[in-house]
Structure 1
Amino acid sequence: MKNRLIDWPTFLGAFFLLLLVTVPLIIFPEKGQEFVNRANEYMTTNFGVLYLIVGIAIFFFLIYVAFSDNGQIKLGDKGEKPEFNNFSWAGMLFCAGIGSSILYWATIEWAYYLQGPPFGIKPGTKESIAWASTYGIFHWGPIAWAIYTLPALPIAYFYYVRKKPVLKISEATRPLIGKFADGPIGTVIDILFMFGLIGGAGTTLALGTPMIAEGINRLTGIEVNMILKTLILLFVTLIFAVSAYTGLRKGIKVLSDVNLWLSLFLLIFVFIFGPTRFILESTTNSIGLLLDNFFHMSTWTEPFNALGPFNKTEFPESWTVFYWAWWLVYAPFVGLFVAKISRGRTIKQMVLGTMIYGTIGSLLFFGVLGNYGLHLQLTGEMDIINILNTDGAPKAIVNVIGSLPLSWFMIFVFTILAIIFLATTFDSSSYILASVVQKEVEDEPVRWNRLFWAFALCLLPLVLMFIGGLGTLQTASIVGGFPLLFIMIMLGWSFMKASTEDIRASEFYEPKTINLNYRKILDRLRRRKKEKEKKGPVDAHFEDE
């Protein structure tokens, strides 16, 4: 009976597409890698400006939505309270959105910017240091979380307001594509989303596993090799498989709460026992620099360097465009997850909460961990850049944490945090993948379905990790995620179309929130249709729904 809930075309289509990409990479790794890298270079070079435009457009669109009548819509029934308190809600959306990647990049990203600064600035100058401290906060800031938030609008609206028990990207585009959402077009939209998510999860895996391995090496002396990385991956898989099996309220919520408390402990410890004044002043300076140059950073394309006598650094393509593409690949997943945990909140609360909590969380990580590492470099206490260039980022990151007081204990905390971060990202991913391949999700996806995608997320990237093709899968997922640029536009348009029509048709308002009773709206429209038959085509949308 439960198997009838599975949308088999989407289920098998996503799985076979992944095999279609990974099998040739296993058989022809060099040619496959060359093809994917060329496609990625062509896309970022020729369409990079499109990513930048879509990114800033989404940011301003969501600000408009939050303070419009559409933002006052309640996700749920009248008088219904939020399903999760603010702490747990913020923890779940933050852990799902950033994973162990933030431990990786917050600690070391400044070192890349210091060696290759933006805007043609010379490396090693005071100006380059200021930008090195700032650019990570920008890349993980408001636009990133705005991209994450957009898909949550139509998905949450249809799930909680129109009471459609379907958690699919195709369902969220129904106001635009109509009955095509039930056919091949809808299936293709869902498969593209799933492929992007599985590949994007590979990126998180590629960053998190070696970092955890280095932490274990420092704690136990065990050599970092493929066997250790495989055992780490299997252990993390076991954690998120159990969490995904137990469900949203027990597994994912508990892991996210633990993660948030450990994160706060790590940040507070580094802030107090590290260079407190430098961290505070550098972070404050970075916030000012970011606010002063937000539009410039959001739209910088380096056009003149490509034509004139100046050297083209390719900084926008290598960093900003890559990040925006990465966020787009993950956006439908995070949007689905945010929608699922936001019952009882208004659209405004969901939008502003996700963007504000997410940005503040990222700011704290980059401000504290990043500036602590930067301080070690500038004072000469540790040549982190040399370690980075010689031994790789994971070793540099663990050395930064190992320079703290109680170094063994702090590396232990950092490693545990990285493991749980990786697990929370993956259990959220498997939960959403399982939701997308079901025709209906009344409460939670079927358990065997959740477990299948939990292990699918692990096993396929593991095969590629053995042959050294994981980076190719990451790049392929970003290339394959290019259509998501247009799907994101469709999602925003669908939400505005559906919610605006419902608001205009509804007479059921509360002082501070709009509580839409969709059944009453439909009854009212049907009565109006009988009275004025000529107006039938105008209200046909509601009849279809």
Structure 2
Amino acid sequence: MYERFKRRSDTVNKNRLIDWPTFIGALLLLLLVTVPLMIFPEKGEEFVLAANDYITTNFGVIYLLVGLGVFFFLLVVAFSKNGWVKLGDKDEKPEFGNFSWAAMLFCAGIGSSILYWGTIEWAFYYQGPPFGIEAGTQEAIQWAATYGIFHWGPIAWAIYTLPALPMAYFYYVRKKPVLKVSEACRPLIGRAADGIFGKLIDVLFMFGLLGGAGTTLALGTPMIAQGIHSLTGLPVNMVLKTVILLLCTVIFAISSYTGLRKGIKYLSDLNLWLAIFLLAFVLIFGPTLFILETTTNSIGLLLDNFFHMSTWTEPFQNIGPFEQTGFPETWTVFYWAWWLVYAPFVGLFVAKISRGRTIRQMVLGTMIYGTLGCILFFGIMGNYGLHLQLTGEFDVINVLNEQGAPRAIISIVEQLPWSGLMLFVFTVLAIIFLATTFDSSSYILASVVQKEVDDEPIRWNRMFWAFGLSFLPLILMYIGGLSTLQTASIVGGFPLLIILTMLGWSFMRASNGDIRASENYKPKTINLDPKRIRERLRRKRKNENK
């Protein structure tokens, strides 16, 4: 009797940890967007696309400047005294080894989208190159092999990393058991973090993440379905796509239930080993010299033109004889907006798994490991497909234009030696990539809707968001509204431009104040005392009240 009462009491106490206004607010906002899309799909799509065009056209410059600014801001932080702050206690070692840490942050930040775009993105640039270059020329081919690495490179991972700074700092240095975007903004907004403004920040973050997850699903599911079709002959239809989604849901639900140290870690490790096997196989048995030379050339071209690519706005098009291509808005601005929507989620996750590392290790590790992984995918998978096109072994462009990107991607894999085995590996990898992204997403969503996260979010909370992440996209997949939800999330994520700036400012304000007040400051060994920090903040609040 006592044990039953104790279990019931523990459940009630845990449920009190749920931040119900944020929990319900995120669901209501998502329903307010998805229900009209279900009832009026054509009008809804028209409105969302018009809003997206307005934002990317009129505010595209802001996205470009914020992306470049975030990149340099993080470099300054990493090599300043702030970068030496330890995320945890003085003698604490990293909670996860470098391999598992890199695997988890890469799988959370990229997902199955890297298999999709890493294999086929070059083909879009080949046909519609930047800078007014003529399609299909040698210059267009060089940029086709380069621009994917740029879009998935240092700036993308810098945008991902920035939110991790204040979140990791407050969680591991100031020992605040809260994983919320609003909490990370507290040094700037003060008590407003506990009010409506703070709830709004968290709800916008969750809406962006749910929409971003829908994007990943929209890209990954048709590609996986094509892979299964090639392996088994099963027709690509909604039944097959539903089975794929349910399979991924079961995988990431089990992983989310078992927690961070077991499920998510092991699934990410398996994911990375499969990715290494796939890339090594393509590099060794594919056109090795072409892949190495083209990738090296792309890196050099990117380094030579990094600032030009980061700030290109096509200013002279549509003036006089010049024709506007819309390349910056269609690709670069869109990608920066996409990374921005995902940034608080990835930042939260990177912060949670970075215990025991310094700020510098977290920043540089995330940017370097993330960029390196994307270079390998675009350099190997992308250039393998490009080689097939240039040599005439397989007409990738024709399949892309006639049958769509998922069919073109699977067709590229089918040209490999032992195509059956490699297609199986590719399809399994895509399923696990999709599962790990949703796995990490459900974990973070559960963390955000809790008032405190002592070690891990409550299990029923994790499971709710695990199934919630797949239920709404499943409905939208049946009515064809996933792409519209993706665009809506990017439009709704526009305020995150301001929130991202607030997060960076918040971190600098908090960490600089704590470092100045610390008596233990020595270069390269900054270990801040949480008790002294709390006492200093208590005195500060007391003086303010006076």
Indicate the TM-score class for this superposition, using the shorter chain for normalisation: over 0.9
Match of 1:380 in 2: 392
The answer to whether residue 521 in structure 2 is matched with residue 509 in structure 1 is yes
Q: Distance in 1 between matches of 2:270 and 2:200?
A: 37
Q: Secondary structure at the match of 1:5?
A: coil
Inter-partner Cα distance in structure 2 for 1:426 and 1:177:
31
Give the structure 2 partner of residue 391 of structure 1: 403
1:43 equivalent in alignment to 2:55: yes
1:14: which partner in 2? 26
The superposition leaves residues 32-69 of structure 1 with CA deviations (integer Å, 9 ceiling, x where unpaired) of: 11000000000000001110000000000000000001
Q: Secondary structure at the match of 1:41?
A: helix
Q: 1:270 aligns with which of 269, 282, 288?
A: 282
Cα distance in 2 for partners of 1:446, 1:543 equals 36
Q: Which residue of 1 aligns with 2:88?
A: 76
Asked whether the equivalents of residues 505 and 525 of structure 1 are also in contact (C-alpha less than 8 Å), the reply is no
Asked if the contact 2:515/2:521 (under 8 Å) is kept, the reply is no
Distance 2:514 2:543 in 1: 9
Which of residues 238, 241, 248 in structure 1 aligns to 2:250? 238
**SS across alignment from 1:6:** coil
AA matched with 2:296:
T
TM-align CA RMSD: 1.2
Does residue 85 of the first structure (1) align with residue 93 of the second (2)? Answer: no
Letter in 2 for 1:170: S
Q: Which residue of 1 aligns with 2:305?
A: 293
User: Could you give the per-residue CA deviations for residues 147-178 of structure 1, whole angstroms, max 9, x where no partner exists?
Assistant: 00000000000000000000000000000000
The answer (yes or no) to whether the contact 1:346–1:513 under 8 Å persists in 2 is no
Deviations 1:61-84 (Å, cap 9, x if unpaired)?
000000001111000001100000
Query: Structure 1 counterpart of 2:317, which letter?
Result: N
Deviations 1:117-168 (A, max 9, x none): 0000001110000000000000000000000000000000000000000000
2:8 aligned residue: none
Asked whether the 8 Å contact 2:87–2:173 carries over to 1, the reply is yes
Q: For 1:125, which of 137, 145, 153 is the aligned residue? A: 137
Query: Displacement, 1:279?
Result: 0.2
**Is 2:159 the counterpart of 1:147?**
yes
> What's the secondary structure of 1:129's corresponding residue?
helix
| Aligned AA (1:35) | F
Q: Deviations over 1:466-502 (max 9, x none)?
A: 0111111000000000000000000000000000000
* AA partner of residue 47 (structure 1): F
- What is the distance in 2 between the residues matched to 1:480 and 1:256? 30
Q: For the structure 1 residues 456 and 523, does the alpha-carbon distance in structure 2 shift closer, same or farther, using more than 3 Å as the test?
A: closer
Q: Note the 1:94-493 alignment, pairs <5 A.
A: 94-493=106-505
C-alpha spacing 1:540/1:25, structure 2 compared with 1 (3 Å): same
1:504-529 per-position Cα deviation (integer Å, ceiling 9, x unaligned): 00111355221000212444677xx6
Equivalent position amino acid for 1:79 in 2:
D
1:309 Cα deviation (Å)? 1.6
Query: How much does 1:542 deviate?
Result: 9.4
Q: 1:64 aligns with which of 62, 76, 85?
A: 76
**Partner Cα separation in structure 2 for residue 475 and residue 541 of structure 1:** 46
Name the residue aligned to 2:4. none
Gaps of 5+ in 2: 1-12
- How far apart are the structure 2 equivalents of 1:195 and 1:306? 36
Unaligned runs of 5+ in 1: 530-538
Alpha-carbon contact 1:522-1:542 (below 8 Å) kept: no
Which residue of structure 2 lines up, in the alignment, with residue 536 of structure 1? none
Provide the C-alpha distance between the structure 2 equivalents of 1:156 and 1:513, rounded to a whole number of angstroms: 18
Whether the 8 Å contact between 2:174 and 2:534 is mirrored in structure 1 is: no
Aligned residue for 2:16, secondary structure, equals helix
% identity of equivalent residues: 77
Shift of residue 540 of structure 1?
A: 3.5
How many Å separate the matches in 2 of 1:97 and 1:305? 34
- In structure 2, the partner of 1:535 is none
What is the rounded CA distance, in whole Å, between the counterparts of 1:227 and 1:163 in structure 2?
48
Please give the TM-score of this superposition, normalised by the length of structure 1.
Answer: 0.97
Q: CA deviation at 1:394?
A: 0.4
Q: Please state how far the C-alpha of 1:310 moved relative to its aligned partner.
A: 1.1
From 21, 31, 34, give the equivalent of 2:43: 31
State TM-score, norm by structure 2: 0.96
Q: In structure 2, what is the Cα distance between the partners aligned to 1:541 and 1:307? A: 60
SS in 2 for 1:298: helix
Partner Cα separation in structure 2 for residue 366 and residue 396 of structure 1: 16
Given that 2:174 and 2:533 are in contact with CA atoms closer than 8 Å, whether structure 1 keeps it comes out as no
Report the CA distance between 1:311 and its aligned residue.
1.0
Q: For residues 71 and 541 of structure 2, what CA distance do their matches in structure 1 show?
A: 32
| Alpha-carbon separation, structure 1, partners of 2:318 and 2:353 | 45
